[in-house]
Amino acid sequence: MEQQKMDQQPMDRQREMRVGLVGLGNMGARMAQRLIEAGFDLAVCDTRDEVLDQFEKLGARGFRLPAELASESDVVLTVLPDANVVQKVVLGQPSASGGVSGGGLIDGLRSNSVVVDMTSSLPDVTRAISRQLTERGVAMLDAPVTGGISGAQAGTLTIMVGGDMTVLERVREPLEVLARVIVHVGPIGSGHTAKALNNLITATTLTVTAEAMALGVRMGLDPERLLEVINQGSARSASSEVKFPQQILSGRYDRGFTMALMAKDLGIALGMGQQAGLSMPVSSSVNELWKMGVSAGMGDRDHTAIAQLIEQTAGVSLRSDT
């Protein structure tokens, strides 16, 4: 394992490496902006013309087809919703005959180029895609992130990387613009494994903190005072120290990562547990609660809104009075 803290790079010199980025959503758009500001020759791809227009005005080259972007890039970053979208973007859309219609990154990538998948995806899918890219002489890393929208905007993400260490060194320069910490966790698929487990812990601590807070309020405690006690003791976590005061007590619920995406990552983690033959009763219970939230129509809400589901069940409010 390798962990390295990164000093922020100068943001005004032209870089030689041609970088492509597919997916200009909440995270991808902020990553793209940092790469432009850092002086990279950036190509971007998205299905929305208005978004492409916006980034072309910032100096990026816009493409509608992944294959066209790939032909103009030395390294391609994919920042997409899930494994299914990654497969379509990298390998091409399925055709009516059951094959592949083309137009994916694989049709434009040159030998010795690199694909870096920064999606929260499935390790097995990642390994399968990597095998197909290797046949074309293209390397792949899985490099999901943690740190949220604010981290993407500030360049302070943590990136967990799976794949060949020598490939990571080849693409380290653009990744350093995006991250404060880069951790090489193992072979291809390891990054996505680590990300799913990270989010399993995040969802669990957020859920149990919300339940404890709701019980405390039900028993007559002030939510701010109770949270202060939690954060001064052994029960503190990133959920209690950051998400609760910033998102839940304030009622903002705008961390930028939806409940449906968190539920997807919980499903990935539980699926890995099944493959490993490991019983995970606590994680399974947490997963059921998040599935309940999605089924209740809360999937598009911020993941911190899981506290609202718990509030409704407990019949209390966790909002601060100030």
Which of 165, 186, 207 is a domain's end point? 186
Q: Please say whether the beta carbons of 19 and 44 come within 8 A.
A: no
Distance CA(246)–CA(217), nearest Å, equals 18
CATH number at 230 reads 1.10.1040.10
Percent helix, percent strand, percent coil in the chain, to nearest 5: 55, 15, 30
Question: Does residue 322 belong to any structural domain of this protein?
Answer: no
Q: Please say whether the beta carbons of 116 and 167 come within 8 A.
A: no
In sequence order, the 6+-apart residues with CB closer than 8 A to the CB of 114 are: 74, 75, 76, 138, 139, 140, 141, 167, 170, 171
pLDDT (tens digit per residue) in 164-175 = 999 999 999 999
Let me know whether 11 and 31 are in one domain.
yes
Let me know whether 145 and 241 are in one domain.
no
* Mean pLDDT along residues 15-36: 95
Distance CA(62)–CA(228), nearest Å, equals 48
For residue 284, how many other CB atoms are within 10 A of its CB?
Answer: 12
CATH number at 132 reads 3.40.50.720
Interior angle at CA 281, CA 279 and CA 283, nearest 5:
105
Let me know whether 121 and 217 are in one domain.
no
Mean pLDDT of the chain: 92
Residue position matching structure tokens 């999606």: 119
Please count the structural domains in the chain.
2
Q: Which amino acid is at 146?
A: T
Q: Please say whether the beta carbons of 29 and 87 come within 8 A.
A: no
pLDDT for 102? 59
pLDDT for 15? 73
Let me know whether 204 and 221 are in one domain.
yes
At residue 273 the predicted structure's pLDDT band, cuts being 50, 70 and 90, is very high
Question: Does residue 321 belong to any structural domain of this protein?
Answer: no
pLDDT for 14? 55
pLDDT (tens digit per residue) in 34-57 = 999 999 999 999 999 999 999 999
pLDDT for 320? 83
pLDDT for 94? 62
Question: Does residue 36 belong to any structural domain of this protein?
Answer: yes
Helix (H, G, I), strand (E, B) or coil at 124: helix
Q: What is the DSSP string of 32-79?
A: HHHHHHTT-EEEEE-S-HHHHHHHHHTTPEEESSHHHHHHT-SEEEE-
At residue 98 the predicted structure's pLDDT band, cuts being 50, 70 and 90, is very low
Residue 71 scores a pLDDT above 80: yes
Residue 276 scores a pLDDT above 60: yes
Residue position matching structure tokens 């390891």: 190
Let me know whether 129 and 204 are in one domain.
no
Let me know whether 170 and 285 are in one domain.
no
Residue 183 scores a pLDDT above 70: yes
Which residues are known to be catalytic?
A: 195
Which of 148, 163, 186 is a domain's end point? 186
Let me know whether 155 and 296 are in one domain.
no
Let me know whether 168 and 21 are in one domain.
yes
pLDDT (tens digit per residue) in 100-134 = 445 899 999 999 999 999 999 999 999 999 999 99
Counting Cα atoms < 13 Å in the Cβ hemisphere of 211 gives 8
pLDDT for 191? 98
At residue 96 the predicted structure's pLDDT band, cuts being 50, 70 and 90, is very low
pLDDT for 12? 47
Residue 281 scores a pLDDT above 80: yes
> In three state form, how does the secondary structure of 237-297 look?
CHHHHHHHHHHHCCCCCCCCCEHHHHHHHHHHHHHHHHHHCCCCHHHHHHHHHHHHHHHHH
* Mean pLDDT along residues 300-314: 96
At residue 255 the predicted structure's pLDDT band, cuts being 50, 70 and 90, is confident
Q: Quote the DSSP letter at residue 298.
A: I
* Mean pLDDT along residues 246-275: 94
Could you tell me the residue range of the domain that residue 202 belongs to? 195-314
At residue 62 the predicted structure's pLDDT band, cuts being 50, 70 and 90, is very high
Give the length of the chain: 322
* Mean pLDDT along residues 143-163: 96
pLDDT for 322? 54
At residue 8 the predicted structure's pLDDT band, cuts being 50, 70 and 90, is very low
- Top pLDDT among 13 and 297 is at 297
pLDDT for 58? 96
Nearest to 47 by CA among 63, 59, 58: 63
Q: Please say whether the beta carbons of 93 and 132 come within 8 A.
A: no
